[in-house]
Amino acid sequence: MQDMGSGQGRPPAGSAAALRAATRDKPKKQTQRVYSTAYKARILAEIDRLRAAGDRGEIGALLRREGLYAVAINRWEKARDAGKLAPQKRGRKRIRNPVAEENERLQKHIAKLEQELRKAEIIIDVQKKLGALLGIEVPTVSDPDKDGTS
């Protein structure tokens, strides 16, 4: 049997101390609790009812029973009074500019049309070359943009 004072720091395998050490849970990182809007409203309604009845001790009992802190209740009450009891999205709010959104949509549409135009020009060029190889005369149409005429 090993000596516990030998400096190894671990109890001998199979001993009661080793079993206790193995079953001991490491403390878990505490996460922030999230409460539903319905739960908050129910608790606040109950607290309002207790305040109206004048039972201050009952409010403390309610908080202990539910595992809540007075700070959380104060925060919920302020949010309720402001009309923001429901959870809010975190981060910076996106400023919606309808003109910029329309501009972006039109820019994408223009890029798509320009890509289709390039494809059409390539197809026309291939048709002209094929017509020249086969000896077929392709009629030309004047382009008002390139000629400067309307």
User: What is the pLDDT at residue 9?
Assistant: 67
Determine how many CB atoms are found less than 10 A away from the CB of residue 47: 19
Task: Dihedral sign for Cα 27, 30, 35, 40, please.
Answer: positive
* pLDDT at residue 141 in the model: 73
Return the sign of the alpha-carbon dihedral for residues 117, 122, 126, 131: positive
pLDDT at 43: 93
Is the pTM higher than 0.75? The answer reads no
Q: Which residues contact 62 (CB under 8 A, 6 or more apart)?
A: 43, 46, 47, 50, 68
pLDDT, position 99:
92
pLDDT at 1: 47
pLDDT number for residue 87: 74
Closest CA to 59 of 49, 150, 105: 49
- Which pLDDT does position 102 carry in this prediction? 94
Query: Residue 63: CB partners within 8 Å, gap ≥ 6?
Result: 69, 70, 73
Report phi then psi at 58, rounded to 5.
-70, -30
**pLDDT tens for residues 62-80?**
999 999 999 999 999 999 9
Domain regions of the chain by residue span: 33-87, 99-141
Q: Which residues of the chain register pLDDT less than 70?
A: 1-9, 11, 14, 22-28, 138, 144, 146-150
- 9-18 per-residue burial string, b: 16 or more CB within 10 A, e: under 16: eebeeeeeee
Residue 101, token pair as written in the block: 């959104």
